[in-house]
Amino acid sequence: MRKLGHKIYGPGSIASFVLGLIGFLMVVYPIVAGVLGVYGLLNMFLIIPITGAALGLLAIVYYSRAKKYLKRRSIARGIGFARIGLITGIIALIIGSAISGAFVYIYYESKDSPNEPIGSVQLYFYGDEEYREVATETLLLPDNTLLTIGTRRNYKDSSKKWDMVLLKTSLQGEQIWHKVIPNASSVKGAVINDSVVFISSTTDMFNDANTDNPVTYLLKINLDGDSLDSRIYDLGGESRTKDIISTVDGNSIILTGIRDGDSESRTHMLMKLNLNGDAIWSKTYLTEPETYYTKVHQTEDNGYIIIGFKSYKDDLKLTLRMFKVDSAGNMLWKDPNKDLDCSILDLVELKDGVWLATGYQYAEEHGFDGRVLKFDSDGKLLWNKSLCYEFSLYLTGLIPWVNGNYLIVGNLAIDNRFRFEKLRGWDTYFIASVTPDGEVIQSFNGKRAVFAPWGVIPISEGYCVMTGFGGKYKKGEKGAISNQDIGLLHYKGEK
């Protein structure tokens, strides 16, 4: 059969044709998939364009072999097949090499921010090997130490129950104590005075109806982590803690989300508590379906701004939701930017009630795009600027910084679908200093450091600590996964 093929087409003609055609289809596939939105152009296994380019090169080699034979013998079919193999092989080699080169460039070069880091970065991880741990907040305590609050779950626990984690560390990164409180999640905290910290979480251990519905749980501790008191607030339905802050008058405000049974509608509640955990007042706010409020901030006029987002089924888009109440929880305004496509994760009040905020917006090309926004005192958008990046960027934290500027931190999600390394992908940190007008002064990222920050607190001028999770990868039941240890990043910039 092989000899028959040589007589009809000439040696190498069929091989050149087949290799060139397959190589061409392999390198065109990522482009077609990208145009159709199946995957992004570069969100393909790297092996596809590399293999396509290699097959194209082989097609050219086999054409050369066939050409020598066909010069001696005139075989029309063989000449036609060989030329098709040559053309498709050249195209496959060029396109495959271009896609592969673009990936390598992005993978190694374009993760680097325009400027090198200024200052020092020190990263610490804490946790047990068999647990997945996530830090949700870090507080600067009156004794000049750090209290990190988080949750953890055992990898092998089929119940998927989360426990509360309290971790106290020094500013030098040394662990002072580590405590675990079973069956609690959605943990947030606030320093109330020089000796008391409130920890608010969600638990299903203590609800009055003795059901699995989660309830809001308040834990009062001293600076050594000892429990002073605890309270349960069964608010009806499923109530989940979203945020807690201390107020200027020495009390606290808790934000909770409440869902009644299987209903898609939700309500959100603000409760102002005194030092004993007793409610001074509470207000409930009816919200539309698939709307979640996650942050509360006290304003200079002693009111409160509550921020959140509305999600959409079968769509990654999020639209901003926010409202403001007075010191007694009465509504002042609501959703002046209802159609704004973004979610806000942190904000800082500037002068005259103007607010600077950070968050993210869905971007079809690379996942999510970091955003810096500015609002007036009535919540109306003044401007919305992009901190675009090659991969998904969530701007998660914002604090005042040196020289009247602001420090922004974020989570840069590297989506490694190429399997260039045997990892699913990783998160690293992103740091930028910006002016009050949102202009970037300097930015950089953690490159290969596996750490996702979800908050930042100022320690002193030019010194801050970021809260998050990360750590080295290890092999799990379904491939390579992160340890997800609690992580603290100490950053000292130039003053």
DSSP 35-87: HHTSS-TT-S-THHHHHHHHHHHHHHHHHHHHHHHHHHS--HHHHHHHHHHHH
Which of 3.10.129.10, 2.120.10.30, 3.40.190.10, 3.10.20.600 would CATH assign to domain 120-492?
2.120.10.30
* Residue of higher predicted confidence among 316 and 408: 408
Looking at residue 69, its pLDDT comes to 59
pLDDT for 237 beyond 80: no
- Can you give the pTM of this predicted structure? 0.75
Q: For residues 365 and 475, what is the distance between their CA atoms, to the nearest angstrom?
A: 30
Range among 334-343, 383-392, 471-480 rated most confident:
334-343
pLDDT for 197 beyond 60: yes
On the CB side of 249, CA atoms within 13 Å amount to: 14
Sequence spans of domains, the chain: 2-108, 120-492
pLDDT for 9 beyond 50: no
Q: What average pLDDT does the structure give for the chain?
A: 79
Looking at residue 322, its pLDDT comes to 93
Looking at residue 412, its pLDDT comes to 84
Q: For residues 220 and 99, what is the distance between their CA atoms, to the nearest angstrom?
A: 57
Band (24; pLDDT cuts 50, 70, 90): confident
pLDDT for 307 beyond 90: yes
Looking at residue 147, its pLDDT comes to 96
Which amino acid, 439? E
pLDDT for 455 beyond 60: yes
Looking at residue 73, its pLDDT comes to 52
Q: For residues 459 and 140, what is the distance between their CA atoms, to the nearest angstrom?
A: 7
* SS3 state of residue 449: coil
Q: What is the mean pLDDT of residues 199-210?
A: 63
pLDDT for 112 beyond 70: no
pLDDT for 416 beyond 50: no
Query: Are 400 and 458 within 8 A, CB to CB?
Result: yes
Band (8; pLDDT cuts 50, 70, 90): very low
Question: Residues in the chain, how many?
Answer: 495
Looking at residue 54, its pLDDT comes to 77
Band (2; pLDDT cuts 50, 70, 90): very low
% residues pLDDT > 90 (the chain): 37
Band (415; pLDDT cuts 50, 70, 90): low
Query: Are 242 and 291 within 8 A, CB to CB?
Result: no
Looking at residue 372, its pLDDT comes to 95
What tokens does 257 get? Answer: 């989300």
Looking at residue 244, its pLDDT comes to 94
% residues pLDDT > 70 (the chain): 74
pLDDT for 29 beyond 80: no
Looking at residue 488, its pLDDT comes to 95
- 137-194: per-residue pLDDT in tens? 999 999 999 999 988 887 666 666 788 899 999 999 999 999 998 887 778 999 999 9
pLDDT for 290 beyond 60: yes
Looking at residue 64, its pLDDT comes to 72
Looking at residue 4, its pLDDT comes to 39
- The 10 Å CB-count burial string (b at 16+, else e) for 326-359 is ebebeeeeebbbeebebbbbbbbbeeebebbbbb
Query: Are 475 and 122 within 8 A, CB to CB?
Result: no
Looking at residue 426, its pLDDT comes to 61
pLDDT for 491 beyond 70: yes
